[in-house]
Amino acid sequence: MSLRVPAARSETPPSGTPPARAGRIDAGRICLDLAAQPPDRADALDRWLHTAGLVPGTTPLPALDARWVARFRELGDCVGALVRAQLHGRGPDPAALDRLNALAAAAAPPAPRAVRTETGGLVRELSAAPECRALLAAVARDAVDLLTDPVARTLLRQCESADCHRCYLDTSRGRRRRWCSSELCGNRERVARHRRRSRERPRT
């Protein structure tokens, strides 16, 4: 079953967590989001884990450090390599596939539970403190699910921008999405096209 947590994405990040930067790429799956924009700092990874819904907004991650960042970046690179191989009709890199499977099997993702608040509402919490390998496993399992789903694979696309290699699921109407992000790559392409037309326009 796919790891999809759309409702959790709207949770409020912990106090002090900066908002997601403008131009964020929504690749359509958690594993593709990681491959598209692998966090390069501990605070960025903390923000990504919360906004992706892997960790409830009020759950702190005191153990998160540079080692977590390195491991998530490694997983993002692994996912990106396997997805691009799929898109280009190549067989998967054995080392990348072995690493993905090892991460997926390393630990069970922390189970969510509904907890009653003082006002009587319910909030989502985790049954145990989230560990790095368990969160890695959640993303790796999403990648395994994606790569082995024949229907989802038909929706895989690579950004058409000349200098971008990000991949995403095209769930747009008519399957006409061309860029990983209209605000980033799409805007750059439109600006470049406008400049080319301006240079080609005859001078009077």
Q: pLDDT-derived band of residue 196, with 50, 70 and 90 as boundaries?
A: low
Q: Could you report the per-residue pLDDT of 72-120, keeping only the tens digit for each?
A: 999 999 999 999 999 989 999 999 999 999 999 998 877 889 999 989 9
Residue 184 lies in domain:
7-200
In a domain, 156, yes or no: yes
In a domain, 66, yes or no: yes
pLDDT of residue 1: 37
Domain CATH for 123? 1.10.3300.10
In a domain, 86, yes or no: yes
The tally of domains found in the chain comes to 1
Residue 158: phi and psi, rounded to 5, are -115, 140
In a domain, 2, yes or no: no
Return the amino acid letter for 38.
P
Residue 17: phi and psi, rounded to 5, are -80, 125
Return the amino acid letter for 91.
G
3-state secondary structure of 125: strand
In a domain, 74, yes or no: yes
In a domain, 1, yes or no: no
The whole-model pTM stands at 0.74
In a domain, 124, yes or no: yes
Q: Could you report the per-residue pLDDT of 130-184, keeping only the tens digit for each?
A: 899 999 999 999 999 999 999 999 888 887 666 777 888 887 776 777 666 656 6
**CA dist., res. 109 & res. 10, Å (int):** 20
- Label the pairing between strands 122-126 and 112-116: antiparallel
pLDDT of residue 195: 64
